[in-house]
Chain A
Amino acid sequence: MSVLHEDKERKIIPRWRGFYTTLEIGELYPIHVLKKRRPIPNDILAIKRKEWEENHSISFAADLMSTGVAFGEEDCVKDAAEFILSNNMRLSETTKAIANHVLKVKPKEKLGDNEIESDEFSVRRQIHDLRLQLYDEPRNSFLWTNIALLYASLGFAEQSTHAIEVALSLAPQNRFVLRSSARLFVHIDDYKRAHNILRYSDNVKHDPWLLAAEIAVAGTAHRTSRFIKNAINILEFMNFSPFHVSELASALSTLDFEAGNLKHGRKHLKMSLKQPTENSVAQAAWLERKFFGVRVEQFEKQRPMSHEALAWDFCRKTKWNDTVVESLKWLNDQPFSSRPAILGSYISAVSLGEYEKSANIAHRGLIANPKDFTLLNNLAFALGHIGRLKDAREVFGRIRESTLSTEEKFVSLATKGFLCYREGNVAGGRKLYLEALEKGRKGVDEKRRASAFLWMTMEELRIGSEESCKYKREVLDFAKILPYPDLRPLINRVEKHKGS
C-alpha cells in the first residue's frame, strides 16, 4: 500500500464543477452590476395591467406577466402569475415556466442540469443526454464545458479536450469556460496551455476570478505571473465583494508564504477568508498544515462543499471514518481528481482495515486517472486482501515500471511481495519485501519503509511463519516511536495479532 503524504505543493487551481452548481455557488456572477437598474417606460406595465383587468383572460394575463419578467419587475405581476397557475385547463408549458419564475416556484426537474453523478453508468447516461442536447444547441458553450467535465471524469482526455476546445472557440472570454479549461489542462498535465489560455484572455487583468486562476496555474507551470501588480491593485483599491476576491487573495497569500513573506501572507490569507470559497478554505487549511506558523482564527471549514478541507482536518484529528466520508464527497465533487481517491482508499485500507471499501474508492479514482500509479497500487493491494488475486495481478500489471520514481519502485516491489504472499509463494513474497526494504535504505523515507515492514509482518503473522515473532518484535521496536498517526491503527493490528 502506498503511503499517505500531505501535498507538497498546493495551488488554488480553479475547481471544475457543472455549470449550474458553479452558478449557484456564485462564482460566475458579474463583478460589476449597475447600482441603479436601467429605467423602463413606466406606463407599459400599467397599460398591460389595465388590458388584463378589462379582459381577464389567459392571453392578457400572460402578456402582463411576460412584460413583468422582461422588465425584471416580477413582484408587480404576481397576481397575473397566480391567475395563470390557477387556470389548469388551458395552461401551456411556456406560461407555466414564466409563472413559476414569477412566483419563485422551482420546477421539479432541473432542466439541462447535468451535474456529475457518482457512478460510471450515470455519467455515461448523462453524456448521452448532453450529446442529444448539443444536437439542438451546438453553440451552447456551457453544455460543451459540462460534457468535457463528464468525459474527464471517465478518463477520456481526448474527447474532453475536444469538447473544451469547442467551448473555448464559442465563448473565449467567459469566466466559467476559461477556468474550466485551465483546470482540464492542469489535469492532463498540459500546464503551459492551461496558463496561456488564462494569461492571453482579455479580462484577466480585471477579473479577480481569472487573475486568481492565472497566478495559481502560472505557479504550477513553473512560470511567474505578469499580473501580480494588478492583483495587488485589485485587492487594495478595487471595492469588490470579499467573495469575488477570496481566491485572488488566497493565491497571493500562497505566493507570499512560499517566498517567506509571512506578514503579507497572513494579511492576504485573512482577506481570502472574509467570505471564502470552498477552495480558499482548503488552501488556507493546507497553508496552516504546511507552514506551522500560520494561524488564522476560525477557519470556516463548514462552507458548503468544503470536503477537501474537512477530509484533511478529520485525518489530522484521526477521525478515520469521517475522513473517508469527506474524501468520498470530495471525489463526487471533483470526480476527475486523483487526490480524494488516494486519500480515501489509503485511509480505508490502512487506518480502518476496510479493504473492500478501499478497492471501490481506488477503482472510482482510476476511472478518471487510469494510469495513476498510487491508485493502481492501492487497488491491487486491496483486491489482494479480499482474495481477488487474479484481478489484483491484472491491475498490478497495468503499472508501467519504467515510468516510476525511486519511491514508487519501492512501493511497487513491496506490493509485488504482498501478492506473492497471498498467492502462497511465501519465500518469493518475503524475498521481494526484504529486497525492497534493503533497496529503500537509500532514497526512500522512513514512513514508507515502516509501512512496508508492517505489512510484511502482517503477512508473516497471517501465515504463522517461524520468523513472524522476530519480525513482529523488530517492526514494533522500529515503528512504535514513529510520529505518523495514520499508521497507528496498523501498528495496533500488528501488535494485537497473535499469529496463526
Chain B
Amino acid sequence: MATPAEELIDLDLDGGWKVVSKFERSPRATGGCFSCGYIVESKEKGKGFLKALDYSRALSSPNPAMVLQAMTEAYNFELTLCEKCSGKRLKRVVSAIGDGKVNVRSNDPASVVQYMIFELADSDVRTYIDSLDKFDIAWALRALHHVATGLHELHISGIAHQDLKPSNVLTFREEGSKVADLGRAAYKGSSGPHDEFEIAGDKNYAPPELLYGYVGDDWNLRRFGCDAYLLGSMVVFFFGRGSMTGLLFSQMDEQYHWRKWSGKFDGVLPYLRDAFGKAIQRFSKDVENDIREEICTVVRQLCEPDPRLRGHPQNRCVEGNQYSLERFVSKFNLLASKAEYGLLGR
C-alpha cells in the first residue's frame, strides 16, 4: 500500500504550488531513503523539486521513535540552513523556495506530509557529462568555478556542506551549476543532527582522515577540511570520472585499507601519501597539457591526505581559515575564462 508521501500527485500546496509528477529516485537519490521526490509547478515561480518526508517508512523501521526523531531533527535543521542561505542570497547553492505541510487524506490526521521545495535543475553533473559527445573543458572549468563558489559562499556563512559529490552538483541551463542538498551540513556554533557521526556524508567520497577515525577537536579541520577534500575530489570526477577516495585506495596496498587498519592515522599517513602521489600521477594523464600543472596543483592542495596541511599554502601563512576556498574560486574562474576565450596554453 502506498504511503501518504507517495500520494501527492495533483495535490495543491501552499504558495500556489501544484504537484505535477513523481520524480524518480535515481538522479539525485542517495541517502533519501525516508523521502519522496516530486516535480511541482507554480504560476509565479515556475517549476520546482519537492522533497516530501515519508514518516510511514520510518514507522516500519526497527526503531521508529528514534528514526522519527532523527528525521524531524534533520528536516528542521535543513530548513533552518536553507532559510539562512536564502537570507544571504547565496547564488551557487540550490535554494529552498518553499516549505510546508499537506494533509493527504482528509479523514486521516496521520497522513500529514511535510515538504520542502527547491529550484528544479536540468540534471546532475553525472548525467550531464554522460550526455556530452565530447568533453567540454570550458564547461567543466566553469562548473568547477561554480561549485567552488557555492562551497565558499556556504563557508563564509559558517556552513560546511560535508556531502559534496557528483549527485549533489546540479546543472541549470541558464545559471550553470549549483551545490545542492544541505541534509548533511554542519553549522558553526550550533549543534546539528549529524554532529556525532564520524562521517556525516557519503563514506565513499569521504576524506581519508575521517575513514581512519582521525576526527580532531578543530571544527574547521573536521568540517571545512572535509569540504576542501570533497571539492578536490570533484575536480577528479570532472576530468577523470572517478572519486579521489576510490583512486587513492586503488593505489594503496590493501593491508593499509581503513577497514583493516588498527593503528593511528599518523601511522598510515606515509602510505597514504605515497598512494596519493601515484593517484595524482594517474589523474594528471586525464588533464590537458595546457592546464595540467595548475589543475594537479589544485588537487594536491585540496586533497592533501594530511588535513593539517590541506588547503592553499598561502592560507596557512596568514590568520584565518586555512581551508578558505577563495583562492581556488579565483583560480577556477581564471582557468574557465581562459578556456571560454580560447586562451588556454598561451
Contact = CB atoms under 8 A, between A and B. Distances in A.
Interface residues of A, number: 58
A54 B243 CA distance: 20
B255 interface: yes
A98 B247 contact: yes
Interface string B248-280: 011101111111111100110110011011111
Interface string A27-48: 0011011100110110110011
Nearest to B245: A70
Given A101-B250, A111-B281, A59 B274 contact: no
A63 interface: yes
A55 interface: yes
Interface in A159-188: 170-171, 173-174, 176-177
Interface stretch (B59-67, B75-83, B123-131, B146-154): B123-131
B246 A65 contact: yes
B240 A173 contact: no
Interface in B200-256: 202-206, 211, 236, 239-243, 245-247, 249-251, 253-256
B260 A33 contact: yes
B286 A30 contact: no
B250 A98 contact: yes
A409 to B, nearest CB: 47
Give the contact-size bracket for chain B.
35 or more
Nearest to B243: A66
A95 interface: yes
A33 B236 contact: no
B283 A93 contact: yes
Interface in A136-170: 136-137, 139-143, 170
Contacts of A101: 250-251
A32 B126 contact: no
Instruction: Please name the 9 residue pairs, one residue from A and one from B, whose CB atoms are nearest each other, closest first.
Output: A94-B240, A66-B246, A101-B250, A93-B285, A67-B204, A57-B130, A59-B126, A37-B259, A66-B243
18 contacts: A30-B261, A30-B263, A34-B262, A55-B130, A58-B241, A62-B241, A63-B126, A70-B205, A70-B246, A72-B249, A72-B259, A93-B240, A94-B241, A95-B241, A97-B251, A141-B273, A143-B274, A143-B277
Interface of B: 26, 29-30, 33, 126-127, 129-130, 166, 202-206, 211, 236, 239-243, 245-247, 249-251, 253-263, 266-267, 269-270, 273-274, 276-283, 285-286, 296, 300, 306, 309
Interface of A: 19, 23, 29-30, 32-34, 37-38, 40-41, 43-44, 47-48, 50-51, 54-55, 57-60, 62-63, 65-72, 92-95, 97-98, 100-102, 111-112, 133, 136-137, 139-143, 170-171, 173-174, 176-177
